[in-house]
Structure 1
C-alpha cells in the first residue's frame, strides 16, 4: 500500500514553500508592479487626453471667434465697397444727365433756329406761291 513518509512530506512542503517564495519574488511581484505601472500610465494618459480636450475646445472657440470677426469685417468692407460703387455710379449718371441736358438744349436751339430759317424761307416764297396759284386759277 501507500506509505506516507513524513520526511518526504516535509521536504516536499519545504520545496513547495521555497518555490512559492522564489516565484513570488522573481515572477509575481515584478508582474504585479508592471501591471500597476501600466494602469497608472493609462490613467495618466486619460487625464492628459481630458486636458487636451479642454485645450482643443479653447482653440476651437478661438478659431470660431476669429472666423466670426473676419465675417463681420468682410461684411463691413463689402458694404463700404458697395456704397462707394453706388456713389461713383450715381455721380457718373448725374454727369451723363447734365451732358444730355446740355446736348438737348443745344438741339432745341438748333431746331428753333432751323424752324425760324424755314419759316423765313417760306415767307419769302409766299409771293411766288400766290402768283402760281392765281395763274392756275386763271387757267381754270
Structure 2
C-alpha cells in the first residue's frame, strides 16, 4: 500500500525548512517590521493628537478670556458713550430751558409795559371817548 520513502521524506523536510527560512526572511520579518513601525507611528500620532488637543483647549480658553475681556471693555465704552450722550442732552435741555425762561420773563416784562402803556393811553383818551359817546347817544 503506502511505502515510506526516507529519502523523499528528507527532501520534503529540507524543502520545508528552506521554504520556512526563505519566507521568514523575505515575507514574515518585513511584514512584522512594517506592523511594528505602523504601531509606533500610530502611537506617536495619538500622542501628538493629545498634545494638540491640549494646546487647542488652552488656546480656546485664552481666546475665550480675550473675547470676554473685549466684551466687558465694549460694554464699558458703550455705557460711557451713553452717559456722555445723556449728560450732553441734559446740558442742552437745561440751556434751552434757561433761554426759554429768560425769553418768557422778557415777554412778560414787555407785556406788562405794553399793558401799562395801553392803560395810560386809554386813560388819556377817556374824556374824548366819553364825549364821542355822548354825541352819538344824543343823535339817537
TM-score, with structure 1 as normaliser: 0.93
- Structure 1 segment 35-46 matched on structure 2, within 5 A: 35-46=35-46
- Structure 1 segment 51-62 matched on structure 2, within 5 A: 51-62=51-62
Misfit runs of 4+, over 4 Å: none
CA shift digits 1:26-77 (9 cap, x unpaired): 2101111110110111111112111211110110010000010000011111
Give structure 1 stretches of 5+ with no counterpart.
Answer: none
Give structure 2 stretches of 5+ with no counterpart.
Answer: none
Deviation at 1:138, TM superposition (A): 2.8
- Structure 1 segment 24-39 matched on structure 2, within 5 A: 24-39=24-39
1:120 aligns with 2:120: yes
- Give aligned pairs, total: 140
CA distance, structure 2, for counterparts of residue 16 and residue 117 of structure 1: 144
CA distance, structure 1, for counterparts of residue 18 and residue 71 of structure 2: 77
TM-score, with structure 2 as normaliser: 0.93
CA distance, structure 2, for counterparts of residue 12 and residue 137 of structure 1: 167
1:5 aligns with 2:1: no
Query: Which residue pairs with 1:101 in the alignment?
Result: 101
